[in-house]
Structure 1
Amino acid sequence: MYKMYTIRMVLVFLLILLAEAGPTAACSSSCSSRCYCYSRGLTSVPQDLPTNVTELYLHYNVITTLNQSDFSRHSTLTTLQLQYNQISLINSGAFYNLTRLTHLYLYNNRLTSLRSDMFVGLDSLQILYLYHNNIHSIEAGTFNATPQLRELQLQYNNISNIAAGALATLSRLQCSGFHTLRMDSNQMATLPSVAYDILASVPSVHINNNPWQCDCRMLPFKLRMNGDHPFDNQITCVGPANLRGKNLLSGVNADDLICEDTTSALTPSAVVEMETSTSGSYTHLVLISGFLGALIGGLLTSTVFLAVWCHRRRRESASTSVPGPTVAYSNTESQTCTAVTMTTSVSRAEEYDDVTTSASRKECMMT
């Protein structure tokens, strides 16, 4: 009886162990170059996968965090599917060793921001799906580590602001074949004028279904619109109330884009003046700097010349007004040498008066 009870407890214990290790063990045992580990209730990335795996399917699990060590042994990966998990944190360096990865699927997770170090190592990445997360911000330099990116899907997030550096990176990706950008159904209200050229460089852009505020902040962007690009027709005003439902390109005039705060309002003429003055101000600055440089150089040259001239005049005046001592030699039969030293003072006011002279004489006999 006791033996039967012991055997039963051992079997229960083994079943518990199998239940815990089951999903990972089953996933690992069925792997070759492709590992199908989806829908297994995994809370983390399995660590016993073959090192030569090229495609890893981990979707429909409950993974919450991606760590630096999760994929460090899998440099041959080309496809990684992590959609439909609960990922809220991707640690720095999590993809560092995945230099061959071309497809990364992270949609339907819980990411809130895209950091500049999040995708470091993904040198070959071409497809990146991030839609249906809770992303609200994108840091500058986020896509610097993905020079081969061709398609980026960010729809159905809460993005309200994109750093200028992040947009600039996307414009440079056109050389590598970047062709699709989806940012529809987010929380973007305005776009700066510099965004126009960036969006125009991408063949397929989706920015519809955003709460666009058609006020003075959209005026610079409006003035760039000409209908040549599909996204020109995708901006439908949500505010202000008098412009709600109107298309920014065809249904709104530039004069309608005003702000209630007059101190921040821009008029079309003001925007044009700002853009033209920006290009002309540099020329004016160069001309003014050149003129000031020439003027200062002339003044310095004149000052040096005047100082030299005054110094010479003082030396000439001193040499003419105070003569040096005069020595007279006379040879006589007795070989007597007489030295005469004279000190003369002349008053210019009494130029024609008698000259008062005091002289001291000293005679010496030379043998």
Structure 2
Amino acid sequence: MPKACVCNRLGLTSIPRNLPISLHKLDLEVNQIAIIRPGSLAILTHLETFDVAYNKITIIQTGTFAHLPRIQAIYMWNNQITMIQSGAFQNLPQLKYVKFLDLRSNNISVIPPSAFDLITYMFRTSMAGNPWNCDCKMIPFRKNIPFFKTFNLMTKRITCAQPTKLQGYDLKDINPEELICE
């Protein structure tokens, strides 16, 4: 049985059905995938690497990565992600073994508290190149920065795009009291 499926540049609009359950790597870079339906990866219990960079994904839905006991790397950079729903990374039995999450260059403006557990355990998380809205909704995340294992790797490039007075500043350098909603 194949261990990898490299389906780059095929114009795919969804995760292919009938993938071999023995897959360790699923590479769907540079396609037209806009949504990953919760459960669409559930049979891939051996999956270690999942790459959907350069697609059109806008939301990471609740349960998207549920039941992937061996997942180690998730590449979702250069999509159009605006939202990470609560529970998107729940039910990952081996959460503490996930080594890399790449969410660079999307349209994420706020990190929901529900993503904290994931980020806390990650060995490396990359979130640079997103238009961060550094207002009161980012206070919980900002206050937790010192507790993240990946503090130096991931937070040095979380640069505020909004509000104007904080534009260009790194979130880690901003006092939580300055993060206000107007």
- TM-score (normalizing by structure 1): 0.42
Whether 2:82 is the aligned partner of 1:131: answer no
The correspondence of residues 39-118 of structure 1 with structure 2, limited to 5 A, is 52-66=1-15, 69-71=17-19, 74-118=20-64
Q: Which protein is bigger by CA-based radius of gyration?
A: 1
Deviation at 1:194, TM superposition (A): 4.5
Contact 1:156/1:186, CA 8 A, preserved across alignment: yes
The amino acid that maps onto 1:99 is: T
Corresponding residue of 1:160: 109
Q: Tell me, which stretches of 5 or more residues in structure 1 are unaligned?
A: 1-51, 214-238, 266-367
Give the Å deviation of 1:145. 3.1
Q: 1:211 Cα deviation (Å)?
A: 0.6
Alpha-carbon distance between aligned partners in 1 of 2:148 and 2:118, rounded to the nearest angstrom: 12
Higher helix share: 1
Deviations 1:115-165 (A, max 9, x none): 112122311100100000000000111112332311101011011223211
CA distance in 1, matches of 2:99, 2:132: 23
The match for 2:158 is 208
SS at match of 1:90: coil
CA distance in 1, matches of 2:81, 2:143: 22
Question: Aligned partners of 1:248 and 1:184: how far apart in 2?
Answer: 11
Q: Give SS of 1:192's match.
A: helix
Aligned to 2:128: 184
Instruction: Write the letter of the residue equivalent to 1:113.
Output: I
- Asked if 2 retains the 8 angstrom alpha-carbon contact of 1:111 and 1:133, the reply is yes
Question: 1:197 is matched with which residue?
Answer: 144
Any conservation in 2 of the 1:187–1:210 contact (CA below 8 Å)? yes
Aligned pairs for 1:3-18 (under 5 A) are none
Higher alpha-carbon deviation: 198-207 or 142-151? 198-207
Q: Go from structure 1 to structure 2 and tell me whether the alpha carbon gap of 1:209 and 1:92 turns closer, same or farther (over 3 Å shift).
A: same
C-alpha change, 1:85 and 1:179, in structure 2 (3 Å) is same
Do the aligned partners of 2:160 and 2:167 also contact (CA within 8 Å) in 1? no
Contact in 1 for aligned 2:63/2:90 (Cα 8 Å): no
Q: Offset at 1:53?
A: 0.9
Residue type of the partner of 2:126?
R
Quote the offset at 1:108 in angstroms: 0.1
Structure 1 segments, 4+ long, off by >4 Å, are 243-250, 252-255
Which amino acid in the other structure matches residue 127 of structure 2?
M
Please point out which of 170, 173, 185 is paired with 2:119.
Answer: 170
Read off the aligned partner of 2:3 and give its amino acid letter.
T
Counterparts in 2 of 1:249 and 1:125: CA distance versus 1, 3 Å: closer
For residue 181 of structure 1, give the secondary structure of its aligned residue in structure 2.
strand
CA deviation string 1:46-99 (max 9, x = no partner): xxxxxx1111111111000126x432xx12111111000111122232111111
TM-score of the pair, normalised by structure 2: 0.81
Aligned partner of 2:123: which letter?
Answer: H
Q: CA RMSD in A?
A: 2.7
Counterpart Cα distance in 1 of 2:139 and 2:105? 21
Q: CA deviation at 1:248?
A: 6.7
User: CA 1:77–1:209 in 2, change beyond 3 Å: closer, same or farther?
Assistant: same
Taking a change above 3 Å as real, the CA distance of residues 131 and 66 of structure 1, as seen in their structure-2 partners, is: same
Is the CA contact 2:159–2:171 (under 8 Å) kept in the aligned structure 1?
no
Distance 2:167 2:107 in 1: 21
Structure 1 residues 197, 87: closer, same or farther in 2, change over 3 A?
A: same
Q: Secondary structure at the match of 1:99?
A: coil
Instruction: Give the number of the structure with larger relative contact order, counting CA–CA contacts within 8 Å between residues 6 or more apart.
Output: 2
In structure 2, what is the Cα distance between the partners aligned to 1:156 and 1:116? 21
Number of residue pairs the alignment of both structures matches: 173
SS in 2 for 1:56: strand
Work out the CA distance in 2 between the residues paired with 1:164 and 1:117: 16
